[in-house]
Structure 1
């Protein structure tokens, strides 16, 4: 297959007009032209990689069923998100164990997003900054629990979220830093505590600015500590609800587009009508793209998929398309260690390609070389 006349996204963040060749499931440097796609006027971007979302189309990852993961993977693929690392919430170990076993046994259809990891968001978080997490199941950091779940998942857990001020958290980070990506999350940590976490081996921040102390001129908190930790990547939810556009623009000035990872943090209501839903046993109300706890009104995840976050970032926040794609494909794939197969359009990687028109509407989707939309 050959895709011609597109403006093709390159790993360095530029768009250049060149041909894309696909043989079977992979991008190749050359190939047969038995099938031709004329992409005149389109951008060719890699399939997006969402490393932090909870659910969509009425299903949640923590349902722990093949049916749920399949439905989620189908929806994501149809929206140009072709590799997924869904997140859990704070739940009992036996429930998380069921989710891990399900992930280990899941195999994606050839027209569906591939499950490339698990984001264990909770239970090692701060009750004060729990957000839409159930406080009944919050636990102190427990290396043994993580390893039990990792064994059940077949090594699928790629991100472990943790509040570094919790008793034993720094020790856990030091012990696990070579086994999983440690992400500072749902935390009351000040600058010094967060800096210790990064020095110990944490290298990621979950939904920057949300569920953590604010960034201020004398108390820079997690945000300042992450800025001062060169290898640290930070997540942003660019859905137009979680962060003011000015904050997103300022974050790009602080961190640059090499260190920012766009995530959707979407819940089961994504792709569904307005109404009442659930997240980790908590009642949620959704109207438009805003999702809140019915009890208290706090923001509870999002109702926006990652491709729509890219559109919001570009059209409403002034982020260049090249930077937005980098943050939604290249950086998340690098963050969880799957950039050898996903996240860019270089030869040897899966042929996960999304063709967008000038208005950023999807024109075609290729999932591991198969045209699915």
Structure 2
């Protein structure tokens, strides 16, 4: 396959007009042409005219829960396949779904089903990992997570999850302030899995201790954490000072004010920001009531809240919607937004050797976006094949 005439998002995170060549499902060098008698281009090669389009890598969402009425924690192959198909159609060609706070045995079963699906899947977005928000989180900042299943951090439980996921577990959350031995725990597991600070009421000093011990990720910045104050900067200030930490951010237009989004990019640097959707099973579905980890949530337009208590409960937007919103509403440059939805998440979960940029040898996943203010998806290519 050869994609011509488009403005291609390069590894230098700039757009330039050039061809994109995909051979055997992976990107090839631009000059590569299939050998044919007499030289020249193979007449059978599929050519896509990308004039008036941006050509960007397939997106990678490393924190979302579900779509189309299904959640990965349903723990069924049907749910995984339906969600993977939906995400791929939106241009999200790799996923690292997030699990809810549930009983440990139930979480292990969800991971086992996901691992089996990843080994045998034949279509949809590639399942490249798992991001576990719980169960080692805060009772105070639980958000829409089910408090009944919160437990103290335990390296043995982490080992159980890693085994169940067949090594696909990439990130696991922690509220350090509720776990007195959190530094010892982090040191015990940090070489096996990325420790994130998630649903935490930690103050600045506690968060910095966790980051110095080896935690390297922050779950949905601003949300389900202590707010930023000039005397107690909390998690937000700690993330800014811990320069090795990747910070997730939900740019759906509901969770965070645009000015706060811009401030986060300035404080942390764009290279550490990761766009996520945090989408629930009600993404792509009509308004109404849905189940989230045993609790009822209500979807009204772009807002999803717990029926009891009214806490915001994730989003109803997919990552491509969030990318558009980041540019159109948050006024973040397109080049920055694309990087934060492609190469940054790939680096955050250490799969940048296969995903995140249009470079020779990586998976041949690209999205064609209209080169106008709408940034509409015109075509999705997955493994060198047009799927949408």
TM surpasses 0.5: yes
Contact 2:277 2:318 (8 Å CA) reproduced: yes
Contact 2:170 2:349 (8 Å CA) reproduced: yes
1:220 aligns with 2:222: no
Partners in 1 of 2:197 and 2:83 — Cα distance? 26
Contact 1:51 1:84 (8 Å CA) reproduced: yes
1:100 aligns with 2:111: yes
Match of 1:20 in 2: 20
DSSP-derived class of the 2:297 partner: strand
Contact 1:110 1:367 (8 Å CA) reproduced: no
Match of 2:37 in 1: none
* Cα shift at 1:363: 0.7
* Cα shift at 1:11: 2.1
* Cα shift at 1:370: 1.0
Partners in 2 of 1:27 and 1:18 — Cα distance? 13
* Cα shift at 1:176: 0.9
Provide Cα deviations, 1:132-158, integer angstroms capped at 9, x if missing partner: 000000000011011011111101100
Match of 2:148 in 1: 136
Partners in 2 of 1:15 and 1:40 — Cα distance? 13
Match of 1:324 in 2: 337
Contact 1:111 1:372 (8 Å CA) reproduced: no
Aligned match for 2:33, one of 26, 31, 34? 31
Partners in 2 of 1:172 and 1:47 — Cα distance? 35
Aligned match for 1:333, one of 319, 323, 346? 346
Partners in 1 of 2:236 and 2:187 — Cα distance? 21
Partners in 2 of 1:11 and 1:193 — Cα distance? 36
* Cα shift at 1:263: 0.4
* Cα shift at 1:110: 4.4
Q: Which segments of 5 or more consecutive residues in structure 1 lack a partner in the other structure?
A: none
Match of 2:271 in 1: 258
Match of 1:53 in 2: 64
DSSP-derived class of the 2:329 partner: helix
Length-normalised TM-score, structure 2:
0.95
Partners in 1 of 2:28 and 2:91 — Cα distance? 21
Match of 1:147 in 2: 159
* Cα shift at 1:24: 1.6
Query: Where in structure 1 do 4 or more consecutive aligned residues deviate above 3 Å?
Result: 107-111
Match of 1:44 in 2: 55
1:369 aligns with 2:384: yes
Match of 2:102 in 1: 91
DSSP-derived class of the 2:347 partner: helix
DSSP-derived class of the 1:347 partner: coil
Partners in 2 of 1:250 and 1:31 — Cα distance? 46
1:120 aligns with 2:132: yes
Aligned match for 1:298, one of 294, 311, 318? 311
Contact 1:111 1:367 (8 Å CA) reproduced: no
Partners in 1 of 2:306 and 2:261 — Cα distance? 24
> How many residues are aligned here?
373
